Amino acid sequence: MSDPLYPQVELLRAVGFAAERHRYQLRKGADRTPYINHPIAVAELLAQVGGISDLATLAAALLHDTVEDTKTEPDEIEDAFGVEVCDLVVEVTDDKRLPKAERKRLQIVHGPHLSERARAIKIADKTCNVRDITHTPPSDWSMERKIEYLDWAEKVVSACRGVNQPLERYFDEVLRRGRDELEKPAAPATGVGAMVVPVSRIAGVGSYKDRPVVWGDSPDGGLAALSMRGPGGNWSNMNPALAVNSAVPMDRSEFATTFATWFKDDLETSVSATPESQPGD
């Protein structure tokens, strides 16, 4: 094309097409951002980190989820953007008729056989997903599921390597940071003097202003601990203004009395014993 603005115009058309097709979709992360943010991030990563300026690759990155996750047909991509872009989008599109586990397996199997441009899109896609799962994961994903996704993404990228070293190095760094973030010990509850208290047996459970609360026996016997679920699923002392002085042993009746005195009418609790278990089981 002789028009010097042609590449910019085509990319803007791809952004507009993808935005229209994804217009009702949100990302699964806790912040529920518009879905279009994801393909834009993938294309940006290819350009900024991978140094890729190939128009078809960047357009396909912007469109890479339209066939898989919307009602868009490949023919529509071909009519709007040409065979080259359409073929790349189809290369990176899963067959949604297959079970999810099989689709994930095939991404690993097919990785080495994709074109170089499709493999670069795959690497950028998984990099953005790992980054999102590290910082804004879906609110209902367990730690195990997050780590399983990172493990799977690593396998997919391993099958796609050999196309763009800067992009691959960046994925490795994002993955490393993700593992460090997900596997680091959870921060204790906020507040001066907040601390983690080991609980060997739950003595009672309840709630305070819709927050789960548990008190129980310490491993060395006799020491009661008032706790609430904290970051990362750990159990930590509540704000010290509300927490028992963990250095002072109490029997269960003393603890229940003190507990009720603090919260008075706000407290809804059961003081009956519960089966032996660990918080978070």
- The DSSP annotation for 55-107 comes to HHHHHHHHHTTHHHHSS--HHHHHHHH-HHHHHHHHHT---TTS-HHHHHHHH
Contacts of 90 (CB under 8 A, 6+ apart): 67, 74
Q: Which residues pair with 208 in a beta bridge?
A: 211, 267
Give the separation between CA 74 and CA 93, rounded to whole angstroms: 10
Catalytic residue positions, numbered: 68-69
187 CB neighbour count, 10 Å cutoff: 13
Distance CA 68, CA 61 (A): 13
Q: DSSP 3-state assignment of 239?
A: coil
242 sits in which H/E element: none
